[in-house]
Amino acid sequence: MKILKLVPGTTIEPINESGWDEFFRYANEQRSENGTPPTGYFLPVSRAESCRPYDKEELFRSGLRIPVGSPNWRRAWVARGSTRQILGHVDLRSHAVRFAEHRCLLGMGVDRHHRGVGLGSGLISHACAWAVTNSGLEWIDLEVLSANEPALRLYLRNGFAKVADVPDMFRIDGMTFSVTTMTRRLEATS
């Protein structure tokens, strides 16, 4: 896939084997912000767990090698700045249930220093364009903590619709969190 230019000096490109270690350093740094002011909770994990390294690296890596449509597949991209630093990421992955091969799940994050400038929208647009062109997928789904209002606004602006709110889904660090499920139907562009 062609590398997409987002803003001058910024590109979105696939994560590949040579970039895995750098990506997981970025992901662990971002994860460590979960539950801290002013960011708040964006992952359904405790603050203590957020400070530990991501425990599913091998599952993530192996998913990138699995054909789309097969169980446990994943595709992922990073946005890089002019000095090649990772500014954000987006990934698509299979649902864990059978007979949902026409759908996938979206995950994403943007470095706290680069939020609010359109990078999240660019990453979502890139993932959706890839899905339409390369995969046969028809829907992209996601779940977001309902208290994560910036993420909810981002997804709504980018064509996702709320389909469910599950109250009291998680109890983390003595607090109750609801979850919002959202979906977007993919349409081929001419």
Report if residue 190 sits inside a domain.
no
CATH of the domain at 133: 3.40.630.30
The domain total for the chain is: 1
Torsion angle, alpha carbons of 118, 119, 121, 122, to 10: 120
Report if residue 133 sits inside a domain.
yes
Q: Which residue has the tokens 């987002």?
A: 6
> What pLDDT does 108 receive?
96
Report if residue 177 sits inside a domain.
yes
pLDDT in tens, 69-78: 999 999 999 9
Mean pLDDT of the chain: 90
Report if residue 168 sits inside a domain.
yes
Report if residue 112 sits inside a domain.
yes
Cβ neighbours for 166, distance < 8 A, ≥ 6 positions apart:
178, 179, 180, 181
Report if residue 59 sits inside a domain.
yes
Report if residue 16 sits inside a domain.
yes
Instruction: Place 52 in a pLDDT band, splitting at 50, 70 and 90.
Output: confident
Helix axes 149-157 and 119-134, enclosed angle (nearest 10): 50
What is the extent of the structural domain holding 136? 4-185
Instruction: Place 84 in a pLDDT band, splitting at 50, 70 and 90.
Output: very high
